[in-house]
Amino acid sequence: MRPFHSVYSKILDWSASRFAILWLSLISFLESSILPLPLQDLLLASMSLKNRPKAYYFAAICTIASVLGAVVGYYIGVYAINLFMPILDKFNYMPELYTAERYFNTYGIWIILIAGFSPIPYKLFTITAGMMAMPIIPFVAFSLIARGARYFLISYLVRKLGKMADTWLNKYIDWLGYFLIIIIAFIVWYAY
């Protein structure tokens, strides 16, 4: 059974679609505000692989859409957290939300640089930033830096490695998925 490979295959289909840029924008936007899975990384890698000269263009689109989604997540935290709290509870995100709140109390706005680049669900930090009334300008600036670094690094690696990246992803995507789950679980467990 290869659950992550089937997701990867679907994402490859999306990247070949004439609506690929729309998919990339939409998924990047939603991942920073409400989407539980970071699918934009694989979509960006796939699109960059299919059209390597436009890899950085795709990274820029991904960055802008992600930061716009982060701003929406921020305002969810400011205005609509009581509305979304039952949803976060239903999907068992409350422990992660409290962990994000602790990180903000410890590291302040600097945690956005770490969360925006890491595999930790970014939406938890965008919502928490709004809940904690973090200043919006540094929040947007740090989101641009962190998300841009992440997406431009992906595009750079795909441009540099080419087909080798696709071969590697096809072979190890399930291991990578399980590894990321273990890392996120370890971060959450260690935070307690």
pLDDT (tens digit, 9 = 90+) per residue, 108-147?
Answer: 778 888 888 777 778 888 988 898 888 999 999 999 999 9
Residue 191 has pLDDT above 60, yes or no: no
Q: What is the largest CA-CA distance in the chain?
A: 46
Report the pLDDT value the prediction gives residue 181, as an integer from 0 to 100.
Answer: 60
What average pLDDT does the chain have?
81
Of 122 and 178, the structure prediction assigns the larger pLDDT to 122
Report the pLDDT value the prediction gives residue 111, as an integer from 0 to 100.
Answer: 82
User: Helix or strand or coil: residue 18?
Assistant: coil
CA distance 58 to 21: 8
User: What are the pLDDT digits (tens) for 101-115?
Assistant: 787 888 877 888 888
Contact between 143 and 66 (Cβ < 8 Å)? yes
Q: Is 143 exposed, middle or buried (0-12, 13-18, 19+ CB in 10 A)?
A: buried
The one-character DSSP state at 118 is S
The one-character DSSP state at 79 is I
Q: Which residue is listed with tokens 């679609």?
A: 17
Report the pLDDT value the prediction gives residue 66, as an integer from 0 to 100.
Answer: 95
Residue 188 has pLDDT above 90, yes or no: no
Domain extent listing, the chain = 3-191
CA distance 172 to 107: 34
